[in-house]
Amino acid sequence: MKQIGDKVVKLGLMVIAVSAISSLLLIALFIFKEGVPFMVRLGAGDFLASSDWRPEKGHYGIFPMIVASIWVTLGAMMIGAPLGIAGAVFLSEFVPKSVMRVIKPTIELLVGIPSVVYGFIGVIVLAPWIRLHLGGAGLSILTASVILGVMILPTVMSISIDAFTSVPNSYRDGALALGATRWQAVHMVVLKAARSGMVAGTILGMGRAVGETMAVIMVSGNAVKVPHSALDSVRTLTANIALEMGYATGMHREALFATGVVLFLVIIILNAIAIMAMKKRFAKK
C-alpha cells in the first residue's frame, strides 16, 4: 500500500508540473503566433525603429515606448538596486540575527502589496510634489522610476540577503584576523563573494520593473513620444498593451501582440542572465 501511495503522489505531482509547464508554453505559443506574423509582414525595422504610433492610420512604430521602458527601468534600478543592496548589507552584517529574522519576512511581505496601491500613492503624493518642486506635469519618468524603485526593493533585498548569508563565516573571520575592520571585511570580502547573488537579485528586480503595468499607467502620463527629460510624460510597452488591447482589432490587435513578443523576449533574457548568475554563485560554493 505504501508503494502504491508513493506512486500516486508521484503521478499527481508530475501531472501538476506538466500542467504548469504546458500552460506557460501555450501562452508563449499563442503570443508568438499572434505577434510574429505581424512583425514579419510589417518589417521588424519599421516596427521597432519607427516613432509613429497611430494605429487608426496604419502606423505601428513602438520606438518611443521602447525608449520610455528603458528610461523608466534604468531609473528604477538606479533607485532600487543601491537601496536594496545597502539594506541587505545592513540587515545581514550589522544587526543581530534575531532582528534580521523578523525584518526579512516583513520585507518579503511587501511583494504582496498590489501595484495599484503604489500607483495611488504616486498619483496622490509623489506626482504633485515633483510638479511643485521640479516642474513638468508630475506624471513622468521620474515619478514612475521612484515608484518602481520602491516596488523592486523587496526582490533585490531578499535575494541579496540570501547571497550574503550564504558566504561562509570563515571568510569574515579570516579578514578580521588579518586586521581588517568590520566594514573592510564586508566591503573587500563579503560583497565580492556574494557578487553573483547580488547581480541575480538586481536582474530579477529589473525584470519586474520591465513587466510592471498598473502602477506605470497611473504615474507615467501615457504620452506616446520620445522622452528628452526625466520630467517628460511617457508610455511604456506594458502600459500601451493594457490601455489599447480592450478595443484593438485587426492589425492594431496584432501590433499589440507583437509588442508582447518584444516584452516576452526581454524578460526571458533577463531571467536567463539571473539564473546563470545564481548557478555561478552556487558553483563557487
Q: Is the pLDDT of residue 2 over 80?
A: no
pLDDT class of 169 with cuts at 50, 70, 90: confident
State mean pLDDT over 216-234. 90
Which pLDDT score, from 0 to 100, does residue 162 have?
A: 87
Instruction: Supply φ then ψ for residue 229, to 5 degrees.
Output: -150, 155
Mean pLDDT for the chain overall: 86
- Give SS3 for 221: strand
- Which pTM does this prediction carry? 0.84
pLDDT tens figures, 107-130 = 888 888 888 999 999 999 999 999
The cell for 70 is 528603458
CA within 13 Å, CB half, 130: 25
The residue-averaged pLDDT of 7-17 equals 84
Q: Label residue 94 by pLDDT band (50, 70, 90).
A: confident
List Cβ neighbours of 28 (8 Å cut-off, separation of 6 or more).
264
- Spatial separation of the C-alpha atoms in residues 145 and 224, rounded to whole Å: 17
Whole-angstrom distance, CA of residue 130 vs CA of residue 79: 16
Highest mean pLDDT among 175-184, 197-206, 228-237: 228-237
pLDDT in tens, 133-163: 888 888 999 999 999 999 999 889 988 988 8
In the chain, DSSP assigns E strands to 53-54, 59-60
Q: Does residue 1 register a pLDDT over 80?
A: no
**Would the pLDDT of 179 be above 80?**
yes
The model's confidence at residue 105, banded by pLDDT at 50, 70 and 90, is confident
185: left (phi over 0), alpha (psi -120 to 50) or beta: alpha
Domains and CATH numbers, the chain: 47-284 (1.10.3720.10)
Question: What does the alpha-carbon distance between residue 141 and residue 23 come to, in Å, rounded to a whole number?
Answer: 34
User: If phi over 0 gives left and psi between -120 and 50 gives alpha, with beta otherwise, what is residue 258?
Assistant: alpha
Q: Of 127-131, 170-174, 266-270, which range is least confident? A: 266-270
The stretch 225-250 carries a mean pLDDT of 89
Q: Tell me which residue of 125, 156, 116 sits closest to 143, measured CA to CA.
A: 125
Q: Please tell me the predicted confidence (pLDDT) of residue 277.
A: 66
